[in-house]
Amino acid sequence: MAIFGTETRSRSDLVRSAFILESLTLLWVLLEAVVAIWSGWEAHSISLLAFGADSVIEALSACVLLWRLTVELRHGQSFSENAERRARKIAGGLLFALAAYVVLSASWSLWNHRGQEFSLLGLTIAAATIPVMFLLAKRKIAIAEKIESRALRADAMESVTCGWLSFVVVAGLLAQLVLGAWWVDAVTSLGIVYFVVKEGREAWADEQCECSNGH
């Protein structure tokens, strides 16, 4: 069964592909969380610790989606409607939690005039996360559109957010190393909060899935 390509595949195949994507996401973000939190602790880096916390939220979201997809695989689409609603609400709540964490982390960094200290290990995991998260998000969004799962789309947007946060961490680490610009990661992190909250609100809304609305 191919994971890529959704045009001519049955719903059950698409759900199985989504399950595989979520399993891959869970494995990656668990690795990401361990490495980011460890390197952040060693480097006394607020940004890396926040990045690790984001990975924990991503892992929780992946577990919720795996549960939702398992319900449909075992009991069919009609039995997955309640699971979909619950998963969508939880995914939206996790997006709000992520936005709050970014704001608090950035505010703390700015208040204390302290940016991240350089960590080669942190830089490596953050850089590797960028293509991984965007690839996973792209496939999740494509499947979410086909099966009309706003819960899956919300989870995909968490992956997009994780990718952007990874980029922010990389930029901040490099700026800290080269320029000594301690405030870069905090300011750029705040720039994506609106996007995160918007996606969280859409996940909580009651309208039909709008996965093809051009986002």
Give 69-88 pLDDT, tens digit per residue: 888 788 665 555 676 677 77
Res. 214: pLDDT tops 60: no
Q: How confident is the model at residue 140, as a pLDDT?
A: 92
Is 1 inside a domain boundary?
no
Q: Which domain holds residue 28?
A: 11-204
Distance, in Å, from the CA atom of 7 to the CA atom of 154, rounded to the nearest integer, reads: 21
**Nearest alpha carbon to residue 173 among 25, 17, 16, 51:** 51
Instruction: Tell me the CATH number at 62.
Output: 1.20.1510.10
Which residue would you say has higher pLDDT here, 156 or 117?
A: 156
Is 111 inside a domain boundary?
yes
Is 73 inside a domain boundary?
yes
Q: How confident is the model at residue 176, as a pLDDT?
A: 73
Mean pLDDT of 16-23: 92
Is 213 inside a domain boundary?
no
Whole-model pTM: value is 0.73
Q: How confident is the model at residue 213, as a pLDDT?
A: 43
- Give the pLDDT band of residue 204 (cuts 50, 70, 90): confident
Distance, in Å, from the CA atom of 32 to the CA atom of 179, rounded to the nearest integer, reads: 26
Q: How confident is the model at residue 5, as a pLDDT?
A: 53
Query: Considering its fold, how many domains does the chain have in total?
Result: 1
Is 135 inside a domain boundary?
yes
Is 195 inside a domain boundary?
yes
Tens digit of each residue's pLDDT (9 = 90 or more) over 40-78: 888 777 678 778 877 887 888 888 888 888 887 886 655
Report the mean per-residue pLDDT for the chain. Answer: 79
Is 68 inside a domain boundary?
yes
Q: How confident is the model at residue 30, as a pLDDT?
A: 96
Report the interhelical angle of 80-111 vs 193-204 (nearest 10°): 160
- Give the pLDDT band of residue 198 (cuts 50, 70, 90): confident
Burial class of residue 47, CB neighbours in 10 A (0-12, 13-18, 19+): buried
Q: How confident is the model at residue 1, as a pLDDT?
A: 43
Report which secondary-structure segment, H or E, holds 71.
Answer: helix 46-75
